[in-house]
Amino acid sequence: MYGAETTTSDSERTAFRRAEKQYKLYKSQKSRKKNGIKPTDLSDVVDFRAVLDSFERGEGLPPGIVEFDCPGFDLPVFCFKDRPGFFFIPSALTIEEQCHWIQESLTTFPQPPNRTNLTAIYGPILDLFNAVRSQKVLIETENTDKLVDHDLKNSENILHSRKFLFYEGANMCGKQSCKSVAASVLLRKLRWSTLGLQFDWSKRNYDVSLPHNKIPDALSLLAKKMAVPALSSGEFHPEAAIVNYFGPSDMLGGHLDDMEVDWTKPIVSVSLGCKAIFLLGGKSRDDSPIAMFLRSGDIVLMAAEARECFHGVPRIFTDNDHADISAVLSQFSSEDDCFYADYIRSSRININIRQVN
């Protein structure tokens, strides 16, 4: 559901695809020498930081944008007149809160039994971020403690008895055939992790039979508090979260999140790290999407009709001038936190929290 089509005709077929093409990062734009390549035209991208600034100065709002008055909710919330059910809460999180959730996303969230994109390849990986800190290497080993005689006669069992473990340095493995990968490389390959009810990407659905922990209480509390503007009645019960990790050239193709039962309930979506462009389309890919910046600390809610709107993230800004993460980096300036700073300097994390049933 998250793939982007690749052929030229497909990539230009719909208004949504055309917008993705307009905003995505091109290889030629990555090189320092710009080779005469035009930078992306960002003049149509809605900037809710500027919207918030002018709102707080008592100036008007841009056409099509309204403030959503939510009694008892103490942060400014904005909506698009023609996208009911979509809410933007700029700077919803303090710098300290942003750093806390970045740390959680890198340390506890990818821990088993939570699954990640790496689980299918390596099995459950324990303490990935600690392994990065201590420069460990993941090495395929034979799980000899569990090998008994009859296993040895059964090649399938031998295959299953292999497992990956972290070791100090790369020299632990004598055999040439032995697979190994540095923890730092693995962390760069982390694309998603799932909290609470586990989402199975191959089946595009929640697999309630997979072992899982409840989503962390503090995250559930945050989501409930932030969901208030999008709840007309009833409560929001967070049951699952998908954490997306984006590197400099990663994007999230246009999609719908349609595997949850009750679409009146919002998806609460938290942005952390480098700035991104979010495209909010309509109910058809032929509707021209609205482009907006998502910065670290922003939260968006998609509920009701907005649940039927195609959306995606065609661009992450990891260059110094556009990433907008200087406050986060200065919070991570101690030597102890340098691994967080190194990671987030060129990454974006999105935590989206959902009620499944």
Q: Is 352 a residue that touches ligand OGA (CB under 6 A)?
A: yes
Binding to Mn ion, residues 142-201 (CB under 5 A): none
Q: Is 244 a residue that touches ligand OGA (CB under 6 A)?
A: yes
Per-residue buried b or exposed e for 166-195, using 16+ beta carbons within 10 Å of the residue's own CB: beeeeeeeeeeeeeebebbebbeebbbbbb
Strand order in the sheet with 180-182: 162-168, 136-142, 180-182
Residue 199 Cβ vs ligand OGA, minimum distance, rounded to whole Å: 10
Binding mask 265-284 for ligand OGA (x = CB under 6 A): ----x-x------x------
Residue 307 Cβ vs ligand OGA, minimum distance, rounded to whole Å: 11
Matching residue, tokens 């968006």: 300
Enumerate long-range contacts of 52-58, CB under 8 Å, 24 or more apart.
52/76, 52/78, 52/90, 52/91
Residue 257 vs 260, nearer CB to Mn ion: 257
Residue 151 vs 257, nearer CB to Mn ion: 257
Strand order in the sheet with 252-255: 252-255, 311-316, 276-280, 290-294
The Cα–Cα gap between 348 and 248 comes to 8
Q: Is 308 a residue that touches Mn ion (CB under 5 A)?
A: no
By a kind-dependent CB cut-off of 5 to 8 A, residue 242 interacts, out of Mn ion, ligand OGA, none, with ligand OGA
The Cα–Cα gap between 356 and 159 comes to 36
Residue 320 carries which side chain, given as an amino acid letter? N
Size of the site for ligand OGA (CB under 6 A): 12
Among 5, 47, 151, 257, binds ligand OGA (CB under 6 A): 257
Residue 51 vs 276, nearer CB to ligand OGA: 276
Residue 105 Cβ vs ligand OGA, minimum distance, rounded to whole Å: 12
Q: Is 250 a residue that touches ligand OGA (CB under 6 A)?
A: no
By CB under 6 A, name the binding residues for ligand OGA: 242, 244, 252, 257, 269, 271, 278, 294, 311, 313, 350, 352
